[in-house]
Structure 1
Amino acid sequence: MENNKLKEYLHSFRDAVLTGLNAQGYPVSVRCQPEIDETEHTLQIHLPADIQIVPGPAGLLCHSHDEKLWHLKSFALQGTLEHQEDISLFHVQRFLPGINMAGAPGPITTLIRARRTMKQALQKRGLPQPSIPWTRMKQLADPSEHL
């Protein structure tokens, strides 16, 4: 992804969430404000001293919504994290458009990816796809219709 497009996307969000692993292999997430380093073609991230994320695979999520959780907008970046003296560098490897970021294909791609991931997880565990009790869901949504 070109830096200008990434800069445009990043500037439409107040902050981002960086997720990586700690030394014990557990996920760690922290809010941050990534800045594009034009010369290194990376994102510079200042991590708080008490947040320990080891170098390696990491993800960066930018998302926003209103107070009622409507008007969702998001995208994610996959990449790797490295540390230098007082700054961390995020090397972008993949851009994942989320909701309302890539035009009409964004939500469709997100839905297809989610369905595929769910199907793979169920197959891996030997579980059937759960059925959804639509009648009960409708009753819960509007109990007055089913008195």
Structure 2
Amino acid sequence: MTVFAEDRPATVTAHAHPVWKVVLSTRGHVEVHHFGHAPVRAPGVVIPPQLLHACITTGSYVAAFVEVSRVAAHRMSGPWPLEAPVVHRLLAVAAEEIPEELVGLLGKPSALDPRLTHVLDRLATTERLDDLAAEVGLSPSRLRALTPC
């Protein structure tokens, strides 16, 4: 997990991450634009992996990037707003405890995809991602999206 904080507002243009993104406002709010949908504006927002979005904060904030293997694989179609009490609780815990708090919100992760287990076992002997993806019947881009790190 990666956590960072800024003491000023920020505007981030369209992007996507292969991890869960949690943005918590310490003053103000977070606004997430998920294209084709109304913006989500709240004290905090959870953004699912691979979601193309833009993000604006009106004040200082904390952002955490949590590996997909740490929480359940929800089928969220867009950003999920967090109300002030949840944001305050998440801000109160140490950075290393944010994933555990998210497990409480999102649920425990499922078992690792067997295709990923095969790929991880073969990493020591195969250097090309394209070859590993072909072995498990995935495109290289889909394999990257499924990878928990």
TM norm. shorter chain > 0.5:
no
TM range (shorter): under 0.3
With the length of structure 1 as denominator, give the TM-score of the two structures: 0.27
Structure with bigger gyration radius:
1
* Larger RCO (alpha carbons 8 Å, 6+ apart): 2
More strand by share: 1
